[in-house]
Amino acid sequence: MSGEGLKIYVLATSWHTQIMDGLLAGARKELAKSGATDVTIWRVPGAFELPLAAQRAADQGAQAIIALGVVIQGETPHFDYVCSAATDGLTRVQLDSKVPVGFGLLTVNNEAEALARAGLDGSKEDKGAEAVQAALSMTSLGNS
């Protein structure tokens, strides 16, 4: 999947630094592998802010958006509200703007599950890289 010539925005939340560093590194590596050079990275406070940042990126001409974050289950229903709002908001931005959004928002029960998906040494998955792959794959629909 090629990112050459595409204007790409990567949105990354600020909570859970180690996990976010892994997700962001995976996304950067995958973007470099794709040949993408026009990449803007925005840090946002948390997952709840991802949809507004995605909308602003689309308004600024993004051709692909990568949304990275992590929400870890706690003792209150806050987890459910934030996960739902972020997911619904990113979906809405994608459908309204027709700009592909790579969904790299980890919604996990505990930190160990997040670390296993963060693309760090010893992680079994790299959801940052996978979010890039998904968004780039969607940019090619209808172009062949």
Tens of pLDDT along 71-80? 999 888 889 9
**For the chain, first and last CA: distance in Å?**
13
pLDDT confidence tier of residue 51, bands split at 50, 70 and 90: very high
Please give the order of strands across the beta sheet that includes 38-44: 38-44, 7-13, 64-72, 101-108
Averaged over 54-75, what is the pLDDT?
96
Mention every residue, 6+ apart, whose C-beta is less than 8 A from residue 96: none
Residue with tokens 């050459």: 4
Least confident of 7-16, 41-50, 56-65, 71-80: 71-80
Tens of pLDDT along 106-135? 999 999 999 999 999 999 999 999 999 999
Q: Say what the pLDDT of residue 16 is.
A: 95
Give CATH superfamily name and number for 7-138: Lumazine/riboflavin synthase (3.40.50.960)
Averaged over 42-50, what is the pLDDT?
97
Asked if pLDDT for residue 23 goes beyond 80, the answer is yes
Burial of residue 139 (CB within 10 Å: 0-12, 13-18, 19+) is middle
Asked if pLDDT for residue 142 goes beyond 70, the answer is no
116-136 burial, b at 16+ Cβ within 10 Å, e below that, comes to bbbbbeebeebbbbbbbbbbb
Backbone phi, then psi, for 6, in 5-degree steps? Answer: -95, 145
Q: Say what the pLDDT of residue 143 is.
A: 61
Which helix (H) or strand (E) segment holds residue 101: the answer is strand 101-108
How many other β-carbons are positioned within 10 Å of the β-carbon of residue 26? 25
Task: Confirm if 93 and 59 have CB atoms less than 8 A apart.
Answer: no
Residues annotated as part of the active site = 78
Averaged over 28-35, what is the pLDDT?
98
Q: Say what the pLDDT of residue 54 is.
A: 98
